[in-house]
A and B are shown apart, each in its own frame.
Chain A
Amino acid sequence: MTDLNTMIEQGRQKEIWIKYLGFLDLSIDEFMDIQERLLLEQIELLGSSMMGRMLLGDKIPKTVKEFRKNVPLTTYQDYHELLDEKKADVLPREPVAWAHTSGRSGTFRWKWAPYSKEMFDSLGESVTGAMILASCTKKGEVLLEPNDTVLLATAPSPYMSGEISKSADEQMKLRFLPSLKDGDEMGFRDRIKSGFKLAMVEGLDFFYGLASILVGIGEQFEKGSGSIKFTAKMLRPDVIWRLLKGYVVAKIKNGKVLPKDIWKLKGIMTGGVDASIYKKQIEYYWGKKPLEGYACTEGGSLCMQAWNYEGMTFYCENAFLEFIPHEEHKKNKEDPDYQPKTVLYNELELGVYELVFTNFHGGIFTRYRIGDLFEVISLRDDELDIDLPQVQFYSRDSDIINLAGFALITEKDIWQALEKTDLDYYEWVARKEIKDNKTYLRLFIELKSVTDLDTKKVEKQISAALREINSDYDDLEKMLGYTALTISMLNPGAFGMYMDYQQSQGADLAHTKPPHMKPTQDQMKNLLGDKKVKG
């Protein structure tokens, strides 16, 4: 087939759009037809492999109905013995890559996922689609060009993000900053540092990575600490022109040079909870809103926002999608033996659901519970005329703090609440604590600078913001009659020391920082260090 570069060269924008984003124009029935057909192929593939047969049970299902009725829901526990040993001969298709998770979820150090060639390709196709969406302003607009520069602020292979980069590189000729080969040999911080350094010379078209990094860089520019260091390589007319232009623009605005003054980014792609939190800040610093997507090691890219940066739409061809309604999910939490019922994408209603997916294209994860919850925010996008349910990431199941049995507090809730206050915080973690038979949400916050704060006042501010964001929490406080939030200020540098300590212990990338939600006792011990905590 004609490759993407050639299609761009030939100006076949319409075809490119349809190829990568045509799914946005599908009707829900067409979407489901594709899902069903690819599932039947997957069942056939599973049936022809040892591990697949193990998952499918005695009788290989012939229909989607049979599949959903007879094949049990799975977790990584059902796979780890064979996948940890990377046994390729038991899989439905020969894997071309093995990726592993960050291992944050605890039980397993890493979760390994094999990618068949088709799955690997779909990673790149999805990210290409995301790049088009992140850079366009209207339907059908394709601003991608071969040799576009991409700064990678993600982990290298064998993390899934590394495989995505490799696959995207195969889809079209991109210039990664630094190159994928060089980047693989660098640490995370060095890679980002080197990427931005190269971007000064080469320019920057796309950013793909964590939103917090973009905000961090933006803040450095604003403070002037990110000032440009000239090197010999920058003595090029185009670079000088770009920098000069940025400087003049900043001067006209009477402000500091911001990243958006020297780079005209085509698109920013991020994932995770912080994407929506930092949306405005990123737009302020970088001149573009970040496009949010959801991908996971076991399932690849699964959904993506469109060019209005609102709800995410699921891809139809990457995995068979099922959703456990929140009530069913809760029932299963209370009684682990209870098999929750699932609904399909065309059966979604507004509300929260746990995602269950089955890999297509010879992957192995079957009716897999990744442990992430999504909220269906609308059944279609009227603005963009997308006739498919729109979702947003709700929370990791394990990250939800359940107060008094009914107020579920997510990472996003707390983050949004913090953002609503004037608090100049650096980092935070949240835990549920019980004191004097009372349930509290306890926040540990490190500020950016040492400030003498009235913690009670801050507590009230955050609590008020949280009540506004989460109606259940509001009900809880009203019912209990006390502020169910306590805050503790961490000593300056607490997170820095934690990260230094973790790095010195050879911790994996995902473990250098404590999780925002429900850190373990050990993690808290390391974070608190000498236990000097205010509040």
Chain B
Amino acid sequence: MVLTIVTIIAGLAFLLYTGLYIVVTVSKPQTEIHRTFRRYLLAMALWSVSAFLLYIDQTRAVFWFRMMSGAGLGAMLSIYMFTRATTKVKNWQGIAVFIISLIMIGLTVFTNLLTESVSVKDGYIIYALAGTTAVVAGPGYILILISLITLVRFRQKSKDPVQRNRLLYIILGILVMIIGSMTNFIPVLGGYPFDIVANSIGALLLIYAILRYQLLDIRIVIRQGLLYSIPTVIIGTVYFLIITLFINIFGLFSKAEVFLTSLVVAVITALLAEPFRVQAQAIIDRIFFREKYDSRIMLQKLSSQTTSTLDLYKITNTILSEVATTMHLPSAAFFFRDEDTGVFELTTQIGLDDLRNQSFRQGHPLVLWFFNQNHPVGRQDMEVLPQFQSLWKSERQLLKDMKAELFIPIKVLSQLVGIFILGPKRSEQPYSSEEIITLTTVANQTAAAIENARLYTAEQSRRKEIDTLYNLSNQLVGTEDLETILNTVTKHTVDSVQGTYARILIRDDNGDYYCQSIYPIKNLIDPLRYRNVEPIVAQYYYDMVLDNELIVVIDTKDPNWHDEEKQAIFINFAKTLCICPLIGTDSKIGLLILGEFHSRKATPFTPSQLRLINAIADYASSSIQRAILHNKLEENFLQTVISLANAMDARDSYTGDHSQRMAAMASQIGLEMELSSKDIETLHWAGILHDIGKIGVPDQILNKKGPLTKKEWVIMKEHPVTGAQIVEPIKYLAPVSPIIRAHHEKFDGTGYPYGLEGNDIPLGSRILAVVDAYVAIRDKRVYSEAHTHEEAIAELRRTSGTHFDPKIIDVFCKTISE
């Protein structure tokens, strides 16, 4: 027996094909594809053994060569039948091809129509092909080419990544086989065993495909153990070689020498081999179980990283990042249950930026499934299981948009708290069972940490909500000023929800919306149309929201919104808008709008945030309503007071426009003295209302022609206090009250009602006193005739410093001309 490298390769190929044949035969299920593939393996085993025997049994070289050729044709036929089974072609041609091929195989093996002579010399095969070779062998090559083309096309058409991948290895195997066998027709190459090598490579390819990708659904349970034993075998061999080497080199013969040497070598080998074994197993892991190798490291990392923080986003982002890197995933996400609503919200994601505001409702089939099941579910399972028939079209679309391949429940104490979603692997390979186990382990290992962080975050969020509402209510209770209320609300909303801006629109009696408050975190006041009426396009939508009392979230990418509409609702200044109605007890006030631009989370407005916005809106509504009511009351009161003042004018002996003239002159003085616009306005109102207190003075005193009695003076002197008391409750007129109260005080302290002196008398009162005196001198009164401007000025100058403030007299004289 001549053992050469060629015979070893041929023998190895035989063993490989025989092994594969056994594996395919015992594997289940057995389909037509398995049966035809088995025939191919049988033919190749026969071919290999013939090749082996060709070199061993050279006396019968012709027979073994013909057996090789026949087996080769058989393999080609089997490949053809395998292709038909794979592509499910059913027609009569198959039977015809089968019969013809059998005839050709018979002719090849039992006649000299293919091979005339064969001999082996020095490991080199010398053969002569017959002239009819093309006729006998040609059909086989045609078949194999047809098969190859068919399989390539079939693979191209197939959308199933598993099938595509498996077919690739079969195609490669066939290709190698064709190339190898073609060398037989090239005289220079034909003598060398290229075909034997090629067929052995083909066998190795198939073995790899079975081990790595479960070709033909064959799963070998022991493969991992076998592969792991390779380093041990190598170490054992090395140990054996070293011992042998020592014995031969140093001529060790005694038992003690051999024993000692063996012991030393064993210790050294053991010491050196351990790192080698670990390294070798790592290499095997990388080649055959790459994901498993990386997953182990990932699990270790996650285990340490997730237990050291309570930040939900940090934990989930770490997990997503590690998993995506290790498993080569473009996308993954976490959905967590909102405690209040029971809805599973998209909390963290990678590679799914386009998906925002997504959630699984309580009755979602996936949620229902995980309530009862602890195992992951794949996209394909969802397409198959009847429980998922109840998915809505929109839900199917969402799952499609997510490109989710695998869904893993996150459970804590048997309660479903979240769903871990994984996208497809970049390799387009399906998740192996080992990977699914790893990911489930990730979910289980990190579930407690996630739940703790989730509860902590929820607790924090609730506390923040309570704090926000508490602060807000404190601030709102302390004021009835509408503007203050509106500004407080917008600021609080932006601060608490971390929005980009907040606006409050108030709907007026005509149904138009006016932006009454804005709190932007950047310069957006002008673009957001402060105090302007909202565009008509937007108003329709606002009406719908307000009248239906809806809280809505609009995404800038929502295709239902046209550009014009987006501009109208200012969504272009944010990524997402939340519009919340402001509903009073008996009226619909307006809208609180929150724009969000920067979000690190997948969901810009989480249910808890929406709940908070809603609560703020409720607080705001009651405060706004209270303020509006208050304003209305004040306005009514003001109107009443103005009416009273007018009535007073009519009652008094002054000319009808006395108060108006006083107001105009006082304002003029204020302007000249460069008072603030607010003070000037106060002066104006003081001018109008200064004598309103005379409402309490009887007509006979008010219009008495002669001098007043002492008693009458007492009554008359009460009018500044009475006037001040009338206007005091009107918030808007509150600053006017002290002016009215002191407008009869004199600069030297001899005035009434309190005898104030100098600068103790409010400036407005001092101005008003001058103006009142001037008007009184100029007007015809029941007790005196009207005087000229000059006379009046002269009188004022005369009493300047005693009766009046000299500075004001100066300004007055300079300002007021006839």
Name A's B-contacting residues (CB within 8 A): 1-3, 5-6, 8-11, 13, 15, 18-19, 22-23, 25-26, 30, 33-34, 36-38, 41, 118, 145-147, 173, 236-239, 316-317, 361-362
Cα distance, A5 to B363, chains bound together (Å) = 33
**Per-residue interface assignment for chain B, residues 72 to 95, with 1 indicating a CB less than 8 Å from any chain A CB and 0 otherwise:** 000000000000001111101001
Q: Are B88 and A316 in contact, with the CB atoms below 8 A? A: no
With CB as the reference atom, state the residue of chain B lying closest to A31.
Answer: B386
Binding site for A on B (CB under 8 A): 29, 31, 33, 86-90, 92, 95-96, 158-160, 162-163, 217, 363, 365, 368, 379-380, 383-387, 389-390, 392-393
Give Cα A368 to B379, complex, Å. Answer: 35
Q: A23-B386, A316-B389 are in contact. Are A11 and B29 (CB under 8 A)?
A: yes
Taking CB atoms, residues of chain A closer than 8 Å to B385 are: 18-19, 22
Q: A9-B88, A23-B386, A145-B88 are known contacts. Are A41 and B392 too (CB-CB below 8 A)?
A: yes
Residues of B within 8 A of A236 (CB): 92
CB neighbours of B87 from chain A (8 A)? 9
A-B contact pairs, 30 of them (CB 8 A): A1-B379, A1-B383, A2-B160, A5-B88, A6-B160, A9-B33, A9-B87, A15-B380, A18-B385, A18-B386, A19-B383, A22-B384, A22-B385, A25-B386, A26-B387, A33-B368, A34-B386, A36-B363, A37-B363, A37-B365, A37-B390, A145-B88, A145-B90, A236-B92, A237-B95, A237-B96, A238-B95, A317-B386, A361-B393, A362-B393
Cβ–Cβ contact A2 & B159, under 8 A = yes
Contact A41 B90 (CB under 8 A): no
Residue of B nearest to A42 (CB): B392
Asked if A317 meets B390 with Cβ closer than 8 Å, knowing A6-B160, A11-B31, the reply is: yes
Q: Closest A-chain residue to B30, C-beta based?
A: A11
| Contacts known (A2-B160, A19-B384); A10 close to B217, Cβ less than 8 A | yes
Which of B217, B379, B384 has most A Cβ within 10 Å? B384
Chain A to chain B: the 10 pairs with minimum beta-carbon distance, closest first:
A37-B390, A22-B386, A317-B389, A34-B390, A146-B88, A19-B384, A41-B392, A23-B386, A236-B92, A1-B383
Given contacts A8-B88, A11-B217, A19-B384, 10 further A-B contacts (CB under 8 A): A2-B159, A6-B163, A11-B29, A23-B386, A25-B386, A26-B387, A30-B386, A145-B88, A236-B92, A238-B95
Shortest beta-carbon distance, A133 to chain B, in Å? 15
Residue among A5, A10, A13, A37 making CB contact with B392, cutoff 8 Å: A37
* Interchain CB contact under 8 A, A18 and B163: no
CB-based contact A316/B386 at 8 Å: yes
CA distance in complex: A13, B28 (Å): 12
Task: Output the least CB separation between A326 and chain B (Å).
Answer: 30
Shortest B343–chain A CB gap in Å is 15
Contact of A1 (CB < 8 Å), options: B92, B95, B368, B380: B380
A5 proximity list for chain B (CB < 8 A): 88
CA distance A9 to B155 in the complex (A): 13
Report yes or no: A10 in contact with B162, Cβ–Cβ below 8 A. Answer: yes
Distance between B24 CB and nearest chain A CB, rounded to angstroms: 13
B378 CB to closest chain A CB (Å) equals 11
Once A11-B29, A37-B392 are accepted as A-B contacts, the answer to whether A238 and B387 lie under 8 Å apart by CB is: no
Instruction: Tell me, in angstroms, the Cα distance from A6 to B418 when the chains sit together.
Output: 34
| B31, B33, B386, most chain A CB atoms within 10 A | B386
**In contact, B29 and A13 (Cβ under 8 angstroms):** yes
Which residues in B have their C-beta under 8 angstroms from that of A145?
A: 88, 90
A15:B386 contact, CB within 8 angstroms: no
In Å, the complex CA distance between A13 and B365 comes to 24
In the assembled complex, how far is the CB of residue B372 from the closest CB belonging to chain A, in whole angstroms?
Answer: 10
Contact of B384 among A15, A237, A317, A361 (CB under 8 A): A15
Q: Which residues of B contact A36 (CB under 8 A)?
A: 363
Residue of B nearest to A173 (CB): B88
Partner of B389, one of A2, A3, A23, A239: A23
B393 to A41, Cβ gap below 8 A?
yes
Contacts of B31 in A (CB 8 A): 11
Q: Complex: how many Å from CA A132 to CA B24?
A: 27
User: Judging by beta carbons under 8 Å apart, are A6 and B384 in contact?
Assistant: no
CA distance A490 to B356 in the complex (A): 74
Assess the A147–B90 pair: CB atoms within 8 A.
Answer: yes
A503 to B380, CA, bound (A): 50
Q: How far is it, in angstroms, between the C-alpha of A455 and the C-alpha of B736 when the chains are bound? A: 118
| A185 CB, min distance to chain B CBs, angstroms | 25
B92 touches A237 (CB 8 A): yes
Cβ–Cβ < 8 Å partners of A361 in chain B = 393
Per the bound structure, the CA–CA distance linking A340 and B132 in Å amounts to 86
Q: Is the CB of B92 within 8 A of A238?
A: yes
Contacts of B159 in A (CB 8 A): 2-3, 6
Are the C-beta atoms of A26 and B380 separated by less than 8 Å? no
Residues of B within 8 A of A19 (CB): 383-385
Closest approach, in angstroms, between the C-beta of B114 and any C-beta of chain A? Answer: 26
Contacts of B392 in A (CB 8 A): 37-38, 41
Residues of A within 8 A of B86 (CB): 9
A contact residues around B383 at 8 Å (CB): 1-2, 19
- Could you tell me if A147 and B390 are in contact, using CB atoms closer than 8 angstroms? no
CA distance A2 to B148 in the complex (A): 23
A151 to B158, CA, bound (A): 28
Most buried by B among A9, A236, A238, A361: A9
With the chains together, A5 CA to B387 CA distance in Å?
23
- Which partner residue on chain A sits nearest B99 by CB separation? A237
User: Which residues on the B side are within 8 Å of A147 (C-beta)?
Assistant: 88-90
A-chain residues with CB within 8 Å of residue B389 when the two chains form the complex: 23, 34, 38, 316-317
Nearest chain B CB to A344 CB, angstrom units: 15
Which of chain B's residues have a CB closer than 8 A to the CB of A2? 159-160, 380, 383
- Nearest-neighbour CB distance to chain A for B239, whole angstroms, equals 46
**Across the two chains, which residue of chain B brings its CB closest to A236?**
B92
Q: Give Cα distance in the complex from A369 to B87, angstroms.
A: 46
In the complex, A129→B376 CA distance in Å?
26
Residue of B nearest to A21 (CB): B386
Neighbouring A residues of B29 by C-beta, 8 Å: 11, 13
Q: Are A30 and B384 in contact (CB under 8 A)?
A: no
Distance in angstroms from B787 CB to nearest chain A CB is: 79
Which of A23, A37, A237 has the largest number of chain B CB atoms within 10 A?
A37
Contacts of B363 in A (CB 8 A): 33, 36-37
Q: How long is the Cα–Cα vector from A2 to B405 in the complex, in angstroms?
A: 13
Nearest residue, chain B, Cβ from A239: B92
Nearest A residue to B395 via CB reads A41
* Nearest B-chain residue to A35, judged by Cβ: B390
How close is A267's CB to chain B, nearest CB, in angstroms?
A: 17
The answer to whether A11 and B384 touch (CB under 8 A), given A147-B90, A236-B92, A238-B92, is: no
Chain B residues positioned under 8 Å from A11 (CB to CB): 29, 31, 33, 217
Please name all residues of chain B whose beta carbon is closer than 8 Å to the beta carbon of A173 when the two chains form the complex: 88
Which B residue sits closest to A318, measured CB to CB? B389
B400 and chain A: residue at smallest CB distance: A1
Interchain CB contact under 8 A, A10 and B90: no
A9 CA to B158 CA in the complex, in Å?
Answer: 11
| Shortest Cβ distance from residue B285 to the other chain A in the assembled complex, whole angstroms | 28
Give every chain A residue within 8 A of B33 (Cβ-Cβ): 9, 11
Closest partner residue, chain B, to A15 (CB atom): B384
Q: Which of the listed residues A6, A13, A145 has the most CB atoms from chain B within 10 Å of its own CB? A: A6
Q: Which residues of A contact B158 (CB under 8 A)?
A: 6
Complex Cα gap A309–B716 (Å): 112
Interchain nearest-CB distance for A80 vs B (Å): 27
Measured CA separation A30–B386 after assembly (Å): 9
List the B side residues contacting A30 at CB < 8 Å: 386-387
Closest Cβ of chain A to B397, distance in Å, is 12
**CA of A2 to CA of B159 in the docked complex: distance in angstroms?**
7
Q: A6-B160, A9-B163, A237-B96 are in contact. Are A38 and B390 (CB under 8 A)?
A: yes
Q: Distance in Å from the Cβ of B81 to the closest Cβ of chain A?
A: 15
Residues of B within 8 A of A34 (CB): 386-387, 389-390
With both chains docked as a complex, state the minimum distance between the C-beta of B216 and any C-beta of chain A, in angstroms.
Answer: 9
Whole-angstrom CA separation of A11 from B217 in the bound complex: 9
CB distance from B363 to the nearest CB of A (A): 6
Measured between beta carbons, the chain B residues less than 8 angstroms from A146 are 88
User: Smallest CB–CB gap between A147 and chain B, Å?
Assistant: 5
